[in-house]
Structure 1
């Protein structure tokens, strides 16, 4: 079987597009978020003889896929071929051709033979084409968006960025986005055994951080914190949620404040939970703190950055909404019940959900790294928050599943307790006023557009 795909990328030449593919992180950026792919090993990059081994999980099963690169022509093409794996034969040629006066035509050609037996029959031409259509629809959109984000600051120097929470949903995506743009990333890790090139040790619980490892860093992006929705909020769990945020932020802020010639920008996470339960009120960054446990946490979390602000460091505090990606977070937890037809509005369904596409959140962090005029609190949410009932309907449409089974408030509280009340039944209608005023461009302003992109349902 042979399949071809192509996409026009305006105003960016073939060599620039090719270079993006050759940098670390390109495979991870091009892997769709609904795929469960783990890189086991790699060597040699995409040049001739380079190898990569993947572990791909599908449901309860998984398989290993070993590939080798060949036919490398810098700025023009490379090919990957199966050494061993699920297919009888697989070859994928990536080509980058001039288009118009300054653009690129990305051209992908796949030649494959499915395995013999029942597995091969299951991978019929229609199934394979549908899955490849999903894959390349996603790949081309993300590639074009990432290149556009990088092009916006191509006249600026490449940065060295330290990231806490670099292995999490947002942190790992940011890491790969930055490296494909030619930036250097330093991951802050809590285990001394994990320290290697590109890593710096820190331990917020003991107040220890390798300050020397931050000497050459331009900016710190602080994302670390215990998960909010990992279980009912016992008193011990609430302490962990709060302390993991305040201790880590305080350690970072105080360290940067005392460093000579250290990082001059700190981007620190917060959340729209700062606003408490505000009904349909439109919330920009000037609104006061609300009530509840999450509001208290967010207020203390943001205040922990004060030492850095007082030292003249530019601090951006991102009040993040629900981050949309099937790889984790709220959407990742919703998918199974919705796919089973058991999705429905929560409580009245009137509570607002301030959401943001994962790719736009990465773009906003990148924007904040370079926009020196942006500081203080910034709502990291899409411009179009929606009530829970509207979110439920949109997700049902995208998945092609009914959403007729509402979950009463009493049931939410009985199952999840205080977590259910604050995180599921309360709402915030946050608007990213400062981000928009600073010139940030969202690529997914509409909820359904974001869901279709992240879930590979763009047809």
Structure 2
């Protein structure tokens, strides 16, 4: 049994890496409606693996039980084959994922080869479940099994979560929008909203297979802009493309990938706009509140400049590239997004998972400000920016409900009716993550000044609005719990986030400057 345990633990580690690196970070499967079938297969396989880990850790399956275990392992093989076939039809797998799947198939084959004679010997014994103890191996298998079962719950819930109901089709408005990053977390929901509003949609993506499976014939999917003729009519550009900032340590090579994935796509859009006979009217380019760097308690409006750190550099260089479109008489709107929250994908399900099991924690001191916005409002902001010529230059796309990291953790725990008593010191995050830990530790008290000036009314102004609107496993309300207001106007903004400095209008030219040091 020692060889079986070693091989099973190796398979578990490979599977954990595949889940985090490929399914969660690279592909973002839980947030994609087209991945529901794949997630269901993943969940079924994880339930099997989790139970097998726990069973082999402490039990000998004798007699008929050996046949039952063999049948369960055979079912796992069938599920894995169906998963491989489905993946090939619905999304483009990176080479690393294909190699890893091959290695995992070989390891599982070795598990079956080593386990077969053990099952044959058990099958000769009287039917029953006999206790056995493999020492440290049993406890390692137990820990692995528990972890796999946690992820089985995660994938099963994600597979069962209902996609937002599509709005009724609208009459075409005669306008065409080109979107990059169409298969990311924000892209599919935005495309559904644009189609419902009557836009014709073109989508530039590296994964045409996944995009066509998701959108069908409703969207013209492009994997390159080079062959679009100059007479093509494109009225608006929405640039959401960029490799995930969470997906590997920020080594020199990784930083180049993160920068290149944003700058190269933006340059391709500018090159297309330059050769089109009829220029697009507007470019909406995503950025992030990471533009401001770590600024402690400073109130940050769109007038605030960038700071030190890789995230700040990444954002201001991206914005500086996008603002070059103004030279072609294209209106440029730069959306500095906070963390985009929704239970159907993005960071919230991953952040909320430990809270559901009573393991929620505060990161660092907990005093750092954490800007965020609900996905529903983020989409509404993009739609507003497409139509309203007043939307230009940088816009802080953040909710008015300013929260510290501790306040976020406490409110999430309270919403899920779970305790919150753990904390992760900053050093414990910085040692393994390096500068990437700034994503969780940097303080950015970002104010939605321009949104207030533009009269934008939030439909998810508070965290509880996001928690309530899309949580697939929300527990019953406490007796007498009252709903939270669904909107906030410019007057309410002052009570939620009182400004501490004068508002000044900032044109798009600001982002082309070199970053200066934070005060």
Question: For residue 188 of structure 2, what is the aligned residue in structure 1?
Answer: 172
Question: For residue 290 of structure 2, what is the aligned residue in structure 1?
Answer: 273
Taking the aligned partners of 2:31 and 2:185, their CA distance within structure 1 comes to 14
The unaligned stretches of length 5 or more in structure 1 are 1-32, 41-53, 63-130
Contact 1:257 1:307 in 2 (8 A): no
Question: For residue 461 of structure 2, what is the aligned residue in structure 1?
Answer: 445
Per-residue deviation, 1:247: 1.3
Question: For residue 319 of structure 1, what is the aligned residue in structure 2?
Answer: 336
Cα-Cα RMSD:
3.1
Taking the aligned partners of 1:214 and 1:333, their CA distance within structure 2 comes to 44
The unaligned stretches of length 5 or more in structure 2 are 1-28, 46-156, 478-519
| Superposed CA offset, 1:148-203 (max 9, x none) | xx9xxx99945321110101110011011111222221111336777896335355
Q: Which of residues 40, 55, 80 in structure 2 aligns to 1:57?
A: 40
Taking the aligned partners of 1:448 and 1:34, their CA distance within structure 2 comes to 21
| Superposed CA offset, 1:248-286 (max 9, x none) | 112212321342213221101111000000112111101
Say which one has the larger Rg. Answer: 2
| Superposed CA offset, 1:309-338 (max 9, x none) | 111101111111000023333213212222
Residues 424-443 of structure 1 mapped to structure 2, 5 A cutoff = 424-443=440-459
Indicate yes or no: 2:377 matched with 1:360.
Answer: yes
Indicate yes or no: 2:396 matched with 1:379.
Answer: yes
Taking the aligned partners of 2:31 and 2:339, their CA distance within structure 1 comes to 21
Question: For residue 181 of structure 1, what is the aligned residue in structure 2?
Answer: 197
The 3 A distance-change label for structure 1 pair 212 and 287 is same
Indicate yes or no: 2:175 matched with 1:159.
Answer: yes
Per-residue deviation, 1:214: 8.0
Higher helix share: 2
Indicate yes or no: 2:403 matched with 1:402.
Answer: no
The 3 A distance-change label for structure 1 pair 387 and 184 is same
**4+ residue stretches of structure 1 with deviation over 6 A?**
33-36, 192-196
The 3 A distance-change label for structure 1 pair 351 and 213 is farther
Question: For residue 302 of structure 1, what is the aligned residue in structure 2?
Answer: 319
Contact 2:231 2:277 in 1 (8 A): no
Taking the aligned partners of 1:266 and 1:36, their CA distance within structure 2 comes to 25
Query: TM-score w.r.t. structure 2 length?
Result: 0.58
Per-residue deviation, 1:442: 0.8
Residues 238-277 of structure 1 mapped to structure 2, 5 A cutoff = 238-277=255-294
Residues 206-245 of structure 1 mapped to structure 2, 5 A cutoff = 209-212=226-229, 215-245=232-262
Q: How many residues align structurally?
A: 329
Contact 1:36 1:58 in 2 (8 A): no
SS in 2 for 1:245: helix
Question: For residue 339 of structure 1, what is the aligned residue in structure 2?
Answer: 356
The 3 A distance-change label for structure 1 pair 386 and 319 is same
SS in 2 for 1:317: strand
Taking the aligned partners of 1:343 and 1:34, their CA distance within structure 2 comes to 20
Residues 32-43 of structure 1 mapped to structure 2, 5 A cutoff = 37-38=33-34
Indicate yes or no: 2:206 matched with 1:199.
Answer: no
| Superposed CA offset, 1:215-254 (max 9, x none) | 2221111100000011221111111011111111122123
Contact 1:323 1:356 in 2 (8 A): yes
